[in-house]
Amino acid sequence: MDGNGTIDAIISGTTDDNETITKLYINDGNGNFTEDTSAPFVGVGNSAVAFADVDGENGPDVMISGLTNSLPEEYLTLLYINDGAGNFTKVTDPLSKNLIGGSIAFSDVNDDGFQDVVITGIDNSIFKFTKLYTNNGSGNFSENTGTAFTNLSGSSIAFADVDGQNGPDLIISGESDNLAPGITELYLNDGSGNFSLKTGSGYTFTPVINSSIAVGDLNGDSSDDLLVTGLDNSNTPVATLYLNDNDGTGRFTKVNETPFEAVENGSVVIANIDGVDGNDIIISGENASGQYITKLYTNNGSAVFTEVTGLPFDGVFEGDISLADVDSDGLLDVLITGKNNSGINISKLYRNTTDFVLPTITSPATVSVDENVILSFYTATADEEVSFS
């Protein structure tokens, strides 16, 4: 945020004292954080926060939506422009729509080099809302009316090029106005920011409310797979994995057996946590027994997962999981927010202390070749343990 090359943090939501906050914490580079009390962010609950350089100038800007606890309460969607040193200027009503209880996600959907935004939530007339806004390059946004996305609240958004064709596609899930309210939908992008809802075989996903979704390559085929969590239309928590068919169509195949604990009102992230064998998964939320959990599942590189036990993570719901290397050791650390099983709202940082040793590489013998040579590379494997503190 302040241009010094370290990962800072913004935390937004409602405290145990019913105070709504949005606070900026500056990292000293070693994972030690100090609140920047001069930050101008309005405190909101039932909130969403997203980062992108929307004006092409000076580093990550911030968009926030949510509800104030002032009287009268206000629904807000605000944009803060960063000067590159962590000083922010507020842009009021950047989308001409104030929302709570939704999600915000940035991506360049029309390949013009500017970060566009999709936002969901409930407006102050209690209508659900999902819209795409395109960016003119200066941080000014215009509604894109070309696609009628399903209006949602309690939602999750993910951009990914799932068909390998024309830029970022869009996956959305959450509560709609339908009789069976849960949905999970895929919209393919034509490369110009025009999206088409896909239905039928390979495009049918578990419909959920109170949702969280994440995308990432889980089986090493360089295509993005999908994990969906939430409450299905039978009021049952789910955690469902879909592997990308990787055939250029954006179709997915459901994996019927996984070790993932089903949750609602949670958060899910996909990233390489242990440093080996592909992307792993962290899931938090409320399980079918009403308990709040946070669990890590490591990947063998082929989308076969093993739960890692004995970790110090607080189980939470109605929170969020964020990953970043906050102490510059090359490992992703974990920030967890939400309400724990003691009914206390928490924000806790867990440093990744995984100790993995790179294999010793023996220098090859000297060889002589002509002008043509073929080099083959193989993925190293190792039996590693993951630990956090």
- Residue 385: inside a domain, yes or no? no
- Residue 372: inside a domain, yes or no? no
Q: CATH number of the domain that 313 lies in? A: 2.120.10.80
- The pLDDT assigned to 381 comes to 46
- Residue 192: inside a domain, yes or no? yes
Domain that holds residue 31: 9-350
- Summarize the confidence of residues 169-194 as an average pLDDT: 96
- Residue 158: inside a domain, yes or no? yes
- Residue 369: inside a domain, yes or no? no
- Residue 312: inside a domain, yes or no? yes
Number of domain units in the chain: 1
Encode pLDDT of 266-275 as tens digits. Answer: 999 999 999 9
- Residue 389: inside a domain, yes or no? no
- Residue 358: inside a domain, yes or no? no
Residue 370: pLDDT over 90 = no
Which residues fall within 8 angstroms of residue 370, CB to CB, at 6 or more apart? none
Cα distances (Å, whole numbers) of residue 111 to 18, 41, 135, 137, 166: 42, 30, 11, 12, 9
Encode pLDDT of 187-211 as tens digits. Answer: 999 999 999 999 999 999 999 999 9
Residue 92 to residue 79: CA distance in whole angstroms: 7
